[in-house]
Amino acid sequence: MYKITLKKELTKDIKLFGVEAPHITHNAKAGNFIVVMPDEKGERIPLTIYDWDREKGIVYMVFQEVGLSTVKLGRLNEGGSIYSISGPFGRHFHVENYGTAAVIGGGVGVPAVFPIARALKQAGNKVNSIIGFRQKDMIILGEEMKSASDSLVTATNDGSYGVKGFVTDALKQMIESGDRPDIVVAVGPVIMMKAVSDLTKNYGIKTIVSLNALMMDATGMCGGCRVNIGGTTKFSCVDGPDFDGHLVDFDGLMSRLTSFKEHETEAMHKCRLDTEEKNG
Amino acid sequence: MAKKPRIKVREQAPEERIKNFNEVPFGYNEAEAVEEALRCLQCKNPVCIKGCPVNINIKEFIRQIGAKDFKGAIKTIKNDNSLPAVCGRVCPQEEQCELQCVMLKTGQVINIGGLERFAADWEAQNTVFEAEPVKPVLAGDGSRIKVAIAGSGPAGLTAAGELAKMGYLPVVFEALHVTGGVLVYGIPEFRLPKKIVEREVEYLKSIGAEVKTDILVGKSYTVEDLFEMGYKAIFIGVGAGTPTFLGIPGENLIGVYSANEFLTRINLLKAYKFPEYDTPVNTGRRVAVIGAGNVAMDAARIARRMKGVDEVTIVYRRSEAEMPARKEEIHRAHEEGIIFSLLTAPVEILGDENGRVKGMKCIKMELGEPDESGRRCPVAVEGSEFVIEADTVIPALGTKANKLMTEDVKGLKLSGRGYIEINPATGETSIPGVYAGGDIATGSATVIAAMGAGKIAAKAIDKYIKGSLNLEF
Ligand SMILES: Cc1cc2nc3c(=O)[nH]c(=O)nc-3n(C[C@H](O)[C@H](O)[C@H](O)COP(=O)(O)OP(=O)(O)OC[C@H]3O[C@@H](n4cnc5c(N)ncnc54)[C@H](O)[C@@H]3O)c2cc1C
Ligand code: SF4
């Protein structure tokens, strides 16, 4: 059991938790992820580490309530506790001075790129960040990203805030305006990472994406997170989660991500009933 | 002397057991156990003992059961084996102790595993455990000397048990949220009830071991961190377990699970109790399992028990004679109505327009000339392709070394296949103070072999720590 020291609603369905877990913070690095279980009967949910305080042993995570497990997680409260947190998993992001870095986050991918942007900046890179959301009321961590970057563009699909359009539009403009990045890091919905990778391929810019494929144990034991990278099968949990965006088979990944859609509906249905029972 | 036949172990009928996850054999009751024990010839030269990898005094414990000294019997077993309730159930006795038994010739070999299980179960039901006092091995500041154990499978648990009995403070770090390794995530409930593993872990704690879940050695704490944190030695028993795939088209379709994933979803995360538990598994109606080892049998027999499944097929390249699984398991699989499609090799997994498995294209094989190892190699019969309809395909093709931890340990020597190189007589690795054993050193093996390795390493660790203490004084 791990104590929840902080709970913050970033939007209606996106929450930030701080949890006491010194075994995670001891060696946590940008790009690592953790696996949490809200309770004993829960699923194992992989989440990227957003931030950490090594001295206090507190790890911070951000998640969107998209299915039963994350809804359950979101119901836990400050002062309460989480059944299981393990990690840090995955190879951490390889930080060095590349020169200019474009760091791109889409939706709940933003908390995942935040520590990468910060680490790149600390390593001397010029960090130009782009974050994208559907609309204004879905924007999260704008201030934090600003502090971790040299410049920040916020894009909304409907134009309700910042520039109108997708992150790729902003990236294209950035590249063409002459501020060509030496490396692009993109984390967000698979479709976004695919679009970014397609774009940068044309310009020949090295691009790293982080794959949040379906995972379970995250210890390399099940192979459920396998993805096709440049024609060979890799496990995102131990070989990744960061991969060369130009080699990833995004279509295959998108298909695998739909694996449990029907079950999710069944479980959610039961979960709602439970809530209704409790509330009514 | 009249040769009485082996006393049968009562078990759940196949029609019944495919509807539940309860243990299949019920085990002997007292009267049956005594009767079976009395069949033992009490040979002058008890060869069975040589067949047991940890040399349990089999002759003596069987004599004690025969004399109704059940307490004495379990004590005898526990001198050499700290997990008898587990081994009595999952050891391949027919290749070990029972293979040596002189009664084998008569076709009525003594049921050593069954008697071992009886003694262990008797103890669980009839005695309250009392820890014998041990003399602690103390560090300069008066605290018990700590040893870190990575992994809580049979290798790690055994090493911890031995070290605790010697007076050390073993701390077991387990990456998952539960302890037991393959005993909990791999071997199904109907072969090894999880409460047995839980009881063993409770026992370990009662004799002074600590268990910490959710911690990955190598990532949460590196080997260097552990030494810095005051651990005087480290035992690595992290298992082998990364699954292999066939490399045929369609393997990434939805509905293809490695046996490890399928078993873990069901055994560890209790997907068979979905939606009470939150982890789902999509089986559909027809399941095809590729391979014919023990893991394949477990996967097939689990699939057979899943709601909505009415057809389970084992697909294997060779013939019945070459199947590596235990005969007993193959027999039970047959009884449970599992279809065996032998001399059949998968060519491609077929999907529908949504990327979901709908079948598997296979080709018929025939056995060619024996190769150097004497095994007859299967060769494809040209033009014999056919399709097995399936909603789920489970490759159960064995495992490779998991590099999760090993690649993070500086200076740790690995074999070409990625397993940790050790001195088998001591468990020593290339790093002083770091020991290893079990599947991560040998590749997939057995529970009893992993336990043996844990025991050997514990002895060597004791020697190492005492030796280095002397140097310090
Ligand atoms: C489905 C199946 C059925 C089997 N049936 C039988 C049988 O009937 N009889 C038999 O004798 N054998 C059987 N085996 C084989 C047997 O289970 C293994 O040989 C044995 O469990 C190996 O023990 P181990 O302690 O080396 O590793 P494991 O049991 O694999 O345990 C390793 C543990 O280490 C943990 N771990 C991994 N990395 C780390 C890390 N970095 N830090 C901390 N912890 C970590 C893992 O999560 C795991 O819990 C079976 C295996 C499988 C898969
Ligand atoms: S531990 Fe295994 S091999 Fe040894 S006596 Fe028991 S069943 Fe036989």
Contact B39, B107 (CB under 8 A): no
- C-beta of A220 in contact with ligand 1 (< 6 A): no
Asked if B214 has any chain A CB less than 8 Å from its own CB, the reply is yes
Rounded to the nearest integer, the mean pLDDT of chain A is: 87
Domain spans in chain A, listed from the N-terminal domain onward: 2-89, 100-256
Q: For residue A41, what are the CA distances in angstroms to A241, B249, B260, B271, B273?
A: 26, 35, 19, 10, 10
- Chain A nearest CA to B259, separation (Å): 8
- End-to-end CA, chain B: 63
Alpha-carbon distance of B224 to B256, in angstroms, equals 39
Q: Which ligand does the CA of B157 lie closest to?
A: 1
Q: Write phi, then psi, for B253 (nearest 5 degrees).
A: -65, 160
Q: Which of B279, B254, B358 is nearest to A259 (CA)?
A: B254
pLDDT of residue B400: 81
Average pLDDT over residues B261-287: 79
Compare A143 and A250 and report the one with higher pLDDT: A143
Which atom from ligand 1 is nearest to the alpha carbon of B216? 42
Task: Give the model's pLDDT for residue B32.
Answer: 97
Residues of B in contact with A266 (CB under 8 A): 275, 280
ipTM score of the complex? 0.85
Query: Helix, strand or coil for residue A220?
Result: coil
Ligand at minimal distance from the CA of B403 is 1
| Cβ–Cβ < 8 Å for A123, A60 | no
Span of A97-106, A245-254, B356-365 with lowest mean pLDDT = A245-254
pLDDT at residue number B470:
63
| Contact pairs from chain A to chain B, CB under 8 Å | 134
Q: Decide: residue B370, CB within 10 A, 0-12 exposed, 13-18 middle, 19+ buried.
A: exposed
Distance CA B437, CA B155 (A): 6
Interval B419-473: pLDDT, tens = 999 999 999 999 999 999 999 999 889 999 999 999 999 999 999 999 887 644 3
Confidence of residue A75 (pLDDT cuts 50, 70, 90): very high
- The closest-lying atom of ligand 2 relative to the alpha carbon of residue B98 is 8
B221 vs A: CB within 8 A? yes
Which atom in ligand 1 lies closest to the alpha carbon of residue B441? Answer: 26
Q: Is the pLDDT of residue B393 over 70?
A: yes
Tell me which of A99-113, A227-241, B308-322, B406-420 is least confident: A227-241
Give the number of the ligand closest to the Cα of residue B90.
1
pLDDT in tens, A140-193: 999 999 999 999 999 999 999 999 999 999 999 999 988 899 999 999 988 999
For residue B215, the number of C-alpha atoms closer than 13 Å in the C-beta half-sphere is 26
For helices B30-38 and B58-66, what crossing angle results, to 10°?
120
Question: Which residue puts its alpha carbon closest to atom 3 of ligand 2?
Answer: B52
Closest in A69, A89, A224 to B278, CB measured: A69
pLDDT tens across B288-339, in order?
999 999 999 999 999 999 988 999 999 999 998 889 898 889 999 999 999 9
Among chain B residues, the shortest Cα distance to A23 is held by B220
| B129-147 mean pLDDT | 84
Q: Measured in angstroms, how far is the CA atom of residue A96 from the centroid of ligand 1? A: 38
What is A2-89's CATH topology? Elongation Factor Tu (Ef-tu); domain 3 (2.40.30)
Question: To the nearest 5 percent, what fractions of chain A are helix, strand and coil?
Answer: 30, 30, 35
pLDDT surpasses 80 at B73: yes
Q: DSSP states of A23-63 as a string?
A: HHHTT--TT-EEEEESSTTSPPEEEEEEEEETTTTEEEEEE
Q: Of A19-28, B217-226, B332-341, B375-384, where does mean pLDDT reach its minimum?
A: B375-384
Q: Can you give the pLDDT at residue A280?
A: 32
Q: Please return the burial class of B165, using the count of CB atoms within 10 Å of its CB with bins 0-12, 13-18 and 19+.
A: middle
Cα distance between residue A117 and residue A202, in whole Å: 24
Q: What's the average model confidence in pLDDT over B75-81?
A: 91
Q: Are the Cβ atoms of A221 and B243 closer than 8 angstroms?
A: yes
Q: Which candidate from B243, B276, B279 shows the least CB-CB separation from A43?
A: B279
Please say if the pLDDT value at position B365 is more than 90. Answer: yes
Distance from CA of B466 to the nearest CA of A (A): 29
Determine the Cα–Cα distance for residues A222 and B176; give it in Å rounded to an integer: 13
Asked if B260 has any chain A CB less than 8 Å from its own CB, the reply is yes
Instruction: List, in order of start, the domains of chain B with CATH numbers.
Output: 14-126 (1.10.1060.10), 146-241+401-468 (3.50.50.60), 282-398 (3.50.50.60)
* Angstrom distance (rounded) from CA A132 to CA A140: 10
CA distance B136 to A191: 59
Same fold, A2-89 and A100-256: no
H or E element that contains A5: strand A2-9
SS3 A2: strand
* CB-closest option in B213, B260, B279 to A221: B260
Instruction: Compute the distance between CA of residue B439 and CA of residue B241 in angstroms, rounded to an integer.
Output: 8
Query: Looking at residue A276, what is its pLDDT?
Result: 35
Burial class (CB in 10 A: 0-12, 13-18, 19+), A35: buried
pLDDT for the residue numbered A260: 55
A81 Cα to chain B: minimum distance (Å): 15
pLDDT, tens digit, 9 for 90 and up, residues B16-43: 999 999 999 999 999 999 999 999 999 9
Q: State the angle between helix axes of B58-66 and B70-80 in degrees (0 to 180), rounded to the nearest 10.
A: 170
For position B156, what pLDDT does the model report?
A: 97
Interface mutation target, options A19, A216, A222, A254, chain B, most CBs of B under 10 Å: A222
Question: Are A13 and A64 spatial neighbours (Cβ–Cβ below 8 Å)?
Answer: yes
- Which of B447, B448, B456 has most ligand 1 atoms within 8 Å of its beta carbon, as the pocket-test mutant? B447
A-proximal residues of B, 60-119, CB under 8 Å: none
From the list A210, A228, A42, the residue with the least C-alpha distance to A110 is A210
DSSP reduced 3-state for B120? helix
Q: Is B125 on the interface with A (CB under 8 A)?
A: no
Residue A239 has pLDDT above 90, yes or no: no
CA dihedral sign of residues B459, B461, B467, B469: negative
Pair type for strands B357-370 and B386-389: antiparallel
| B201-210 residue pLDDT tens | 998 898 899 9
Nearest to B237 by CA among B461, B80, B56: B461
Nearest-5° Cα angle at B188, B185 to B191: 135
Segment holding A202, helix H or strand E: helix A190-203
Ligand lying nearest the CA atom of residue A88:
1
| C-beta B238 within 6 A of ligand 1 | yes
Residues in chain A closer than 8 A to B215 (CB atoms): 23, 86
Q: Check pocket membership of B299 for ligand 1, CB cut-off 6 A.
A: no
The minimum CA-CA distance between A136 and chain B, rounded to whole Å, is 33
Q: What is the DSSP string of B201-267?
A: HHHHHHTT-EEE-SB-BTTTB-HHHHHHTTEEEEEE----EEE-----TTTTSBTB--HHHHHIIII
pLDDT at B162: 93
Question: If we measure between CA atoms, which residue out of B270, B279, B399, B299 comes closest to residue A216?
Answer: B279
Alpha-carbon gap, residue B471 to B473, rounded angstroms: 6
- Would you give the distance in Å from CA B179 to the centre of its chain? 13
- Mean pLDDT over B114-120 rounds to 96
pLDDT exceeds cutoff 80 at A277? no
Interface check for A220 against chain B (CB to CB < 8 A): the answer is: yes
Q: Which of A194, A220, A218 is nearest to A207 (CA)?
A: A194
B116-120: average pLDDT = 96
Residue with CA closest to ligand 2 atom 2: B91
* Predicted pLDDT at A263: 52
d(CA A270, CA B157): 38
Provide CB contacts within 8 A for B373, sequence distance 6+: none
Identity at B128, one-letter amino acid code: V
**Closest Cα in chain B to A240:** B404
Q: Do B261 and A259 touch (CB under 8 A)?
A: no
Q: Is B176 on the interface with A (CB under 8 A)?
A: yes
List the single range of A218-232, B363-377, B432-446 with lowest mean pLDDT: A218-232
| A260 vs B63, more confident | B63
CATH code at A100-256: 3.40.50.80
Is a pLDDT exceeding 60 seen at residue A274? no
B340 burial (CB, 10 Å; 0-12 / 13-18 / 19+) is middle
Question: How many A from CA of B312 to the centre of ligand 1?
Answer: 25
Identity (one letter) of the amino acid at A60? Answer: Y
